[in-house]
Structure 1
Amino acid sequence: MANDFGFIGIGAMGYGMAMNIRKEIPNSSTLFITDVFRPSCEKFKAEFSSHGPIEILDSAREVAERALTIISIVPSANNVRQVYLDNEHGIIAAKANPDRLMLECSTIDVETARDVGETLIKANAGLYIDTPVSGGVPGALAGTLSFLVGKAKTANNSSDLLSKRLITVISAMATPEKIFYCGGLGAGLAAKISNNYLCGTILLATAEAMNIGIRSGVDKHVLYEVIKNSTGQSFMCDHVNPVPGVVPHAPSSRDYQGGFKAQMMVKDMTLGVDAAKVTGVRSTLGPAALEVYKEAAMDPRCINRDVSVIYRFLDGPE
C-alpha cells in the first residue's frame, strides 16, 4: 500500500495526469483508478498497463483502502464532497489512516475545500491538500502543468517524508518552476479562481477587440501582430486567440477542438464572481463577462467546443 497510488477522475485532464503518474511511479507500484464513466478507465488501462499494474475500482473508498497517495480531479464541488465525504462510497468511509496523502486538483470554491479538508483531518483520514492545476489538456499530457498548493496547518506538515511525497507526486505532472505554495488550505484554489477570473475576462475582451479591428478593415494577421507587440499583448491572445487562422496552435484554428469547453467557463467565472462577493471585492467586469458566457454556453454554435468559440458567438467575421 505504501508505494501504491490512486487516481480518481479519468476525464480529459485526469487522463493525461494519470498517464504521467503511471509512467513515473515504480513499475512495481499499482495505480488504482476509478471514474463514473468506466470506459475511460478501461481505455486507460489498455493503453498504459505496459508501464506497470493498473486496477479499476468502483469507488473512492476502495481506492483509499488500497493506496496511500491519492490524486483526484472531478467537475464540481458536489462531486468532491461525494468522493471524499460520502459515508458509504467516499474516502472517509475507508479505514482511518493519518499517513494518507490526498491531492485534490479540481477547481471548486474555497469554502468547500476547507470544509472537506478539515472534516478529513478530524476523522483521521489523512491530509487533504488543495492542488488545483493550470495548463489545460496539453499541459496535462505533456506533464507541464502549474500546481497551486494550499496546505492545512497540521503537525504532519513538518514531516520531511510528507514533503518529499508531495513534491514527488506533483513533479510527475508539473514543471518544477510551476509549483507554487500559496498558503493554507484553500489558498491554492483562491489563486486558481483569481487566475481564471482574469483569463475569462481577457479572452472575452480579446474577442471583442479583434472583432472591432477586423470589422474596421484591419487584416486579422496584422491586427494580431500589432496587439502582440503593443500594450494589449496577453497569453490568451498569443495562445488562445479566438480568431480562426491567426495563431495556428490555438483551438480556434483547429475547428475549436480541444482546450477548455465554453460550458466550463460559466463554472469558473461563477466561482470568481462568487469569490468577489465573499471577500467584499467590487466586481465589475466579471458579472458582465459571466452573462455573455452563459448565453454562449447555450448557443448551438458553442456546444462542446473550446471557449475561444466566443468570437463566433459575437458574430465575428471569419
Structure 2
Amino acid sequence: MKRLKKTVCAPESTYQFQSTAAITMAENSNFLDVNFGFIGLGAMGYPMAMNICKKMSPTKALYITDVSRPAVEKFLAQAMQENWGGLVVIVETAKAVAENAETIFTIVPAASHVRDVYLNPETGVIAAGKSEGRLCVECSTIDLATTRDVGEKIMQAGVAEYVDSPVSGGVPGATEGTLSFLQGCPPASALSARLTAVSLLMASPDKIFPCGPLGSGLAAKISNNYLCGTNLLASAEAMNFGIRNGVDKHILYKVIQNSTGQNFMLDKVTPVPGVNPAAPSSRDYQGGFKAQMMVKDMTLGVEVAEATGVVATMGRAALEVYKQAAVDPRCIDRDVSVIWRFLDGPE
C-alpha cells in the first residue's frame, strides 16, 4: 500500500438510483465495488472506517479526512501495517472526499460540525458539485432540524442522496462490526437496499432499521437515548438504596435481571462496580460513553419531546442530574455509568 496525499480525479459514478426495490445479488455487489469516503475518525468513526477498509473491494480506495491530522495518520499507518485491504487516501476536505467517493459516511460531534462538513461553500460536500450516484450517510447524533435542513439542501442541489443514519452500539459495536443503523429512509426501497449493503460492512444483519422519511432515523435514535439516560439513572438509584438496605449487590443485580425491572443499561452498562466484569464500572469507569455527552443526548430528547407536545417529566429530572455530574471532577471523561459515583453509591 502506498501513501497518497494528493487528491485524485473523481471517478465516474458506477451507480444510478433505481425506481424499484428489486435488487439482485450482482447489483448488491456493485454497491460495494466503489470508492468509499469517511469523514470523522473519532472514537466511533475510527473503528467504523476500519471495518469498511477491511471489507471493501481491494481494488477501490477509502478516502478519509478529519480535523485531527494525527488521527488520519494513525489510521493510514495501521491500515498499511495490518494490511486491511482497501487503499487508504488522506485528503484535506470533505469536498475532496465527495469528489472521489461514491458512498460517504460521516460521524462528527455536533450539529455545527455537520453543517460545516456538508454546507461549507468552499470545503464542504456541497462544493463537490452534482452527482447522480453519490450517497451520503450521516451517522452523527444531532437535532432533527439540522439534519433535515442539511439533507434537503444537499439533495435539492443535486449533490447526493442524503440519509440520516445514526448508529447504536457504542465503541465495542463499532469495533466488532455489530452496530445498529437507524436509517431515515423508506423500507423496501432501492435506497434502503443500497444502504443495507453498505451498512453491513459495519452492522449486524438484524440491526439495520429503515425508519421512514428524512429525520426519522434520528427521531428513533433520540427516543432510544432518552430511555438509556433515564433507565441508567433509575437503575443506579434503585441499586443504591437496595444495597444500603442490606441486599448484596450481586444478589440485587440478579433479582432485577430476572424481574420486571430488567433493562439493558443495568444488564450491560451496570453502574455498580464489581458486578459485571465487562462493564466500565469494573475498570474505574474508563472507556465507553463520556459522562458529559449524556447531557447532549438528554437535552436532545427533552427538546424533541417538548417540540411535539410531550411533557418530558423524567427526562428533565434526569437531565439536571447529568448536568451536575458532567462538571463533577470525579465524573469528567469517565463512562456515564459513573453516575453511580456521583450518587455516592458504595464502591
Q: Tell me the residue number matched to 2:78.
A: 47
Contact 2:186–2:192, Cα closer than 8 Å, also in 1: no
2: distance between equivalents of 1:175 and 1:163?
Answer: 15
Superposition TM-score, scaled by structure 2 size: 0.88
> Letter of the aligned partner of 2:49 in structure 1?
A
Encode CA deviations 1:267-311: one digit per residue, 9 max, x unaligned. 000000000111110110001100110100001011111000000
Q: Is the 8 A contact 1:150 1:182 kept in 2?
A: yes
Give the equivalent residue in structure 1 for 2:131. 97
Name 1:67's counterpart in structure 2: 101
Find the residue that maps to 1:151 and give its secondary structure. Answer: coil
The CA distance in 1 between the partners of 2:338 and 2:272, in whole Å, is 8
Alpha-carbon shift at residue 216 of structure 1 (Å): 1.1
TM-score (norm 1): 0.96
* Residue identity matched to 1:13: M
Q: What is the aligned partner in structure 2 of residue 293 from structure 1? A: 322
* Secondary structure of 2:37 counterpart: strand
- CA–CA distance in structure 1, aligned partners of residues 143 and 186 of structure 2: 16
Using the TM superposition, give the Cα deviation of residue 152 of structure 1 relative to its aligned residue in structure 2, in angstroms: 7.7
| Counterpart for residue 279 of structure 1 | 308
1:197 and 2:239 are equivalent in the alignment: no
Aligned partners of 2:131, 2:186: CA distance in 1, in Å?
16
Amino acid at match of 2:245: S
CA contact 1:129–1:152 (8 Å) conserved in 2: no
Gapped runs of 5+ residues in structure 2? 1-10, 14-33
The answer for the alignment partner of 1:137 in structure 2 is 171
Long gaps (5+) in structure 1: none
For residues 58-95 of structure 1, give each alpha carbon's deviation from its aligned partner in whole angstroms, at most 9, with x where no partner exists: 11011111111100000101110000011111100112
2:245 corresponds in structure 1 to 216
Alpha-carbon shift at residue 214 of structure 1 (Å):
1.1
Query: Per-residue CA shift, 1:169-225, capped at 9, x if unaligned?
Result: 101010011101110000000000000000000000011011101111111111111
Aligned residue in 2 for 1:9 = 40
2:91 pairs with one of 57, 67, 70: 57
Are 2:204 and 1:179 aligned? no
Q: Which residue of 1 aligns with 2:56?
A: 25
Q: What is the number of residues matched between the two proteins?
A: 313
Q: Secondary structure at the match of 1:129?
A: strand
Contact 2:167-2:181 at 8 Å conserved across structures: yes
Give the counterpart letter for 1:85 in structure 2.
Answer: L
Map 1:228-267; keep pairs closer than 5 Å.
Answer: 228-267=257-296
SS in 2 for 1:31: strand
Distance in 2 separating the partners of 1:152 and 1:183: 4
The amino acid of 1:57's aligned partner reads V
The 1-side partners of 2:42 and 2:279 are apart by 21
Q: Read off the aligned partner of 1:107 and give its amino acid letter.
A: T
Residue 85 of structure 1 corresponds to which residue in structure 2? Answer: 119
> For the aligned residues, what is the CA RMSD?
1.4
Secondary structure, counterpart of 1:54 in structure 2: strand
TM-aligned CA deviation for residue 151 of structure 1:
2.3
Q: How far apart are 1:56 and its partner, in Å?
A: 1.1
Work out the CA distance in 1 between the residues paired with 2:196 and 2:259.
38
- What amino acid does structure 1 have at the position aligned with 2:206? E
2:167–2:182 contact (8 Å) kept in structure 1: yes
Shift of 1:163: 4.5
SS in 2 for 1:148: strand
> Aligned-pair distance for 1:98?
2.6
**Is 1:303 matched up with 2:328?**
no
- Superposed, 1:87-166 pairs within 5 Å as 87-151=121-185, 160=190, 162-166=191-195
Task: Name the SS for the 2:184 alignment partner.
Answer: strand
Of residues 43, 63, 69, the one that matches 1:38 is 69
In structure 1, the partner of 2:235 is 206
Percent identity over the alignment is 65
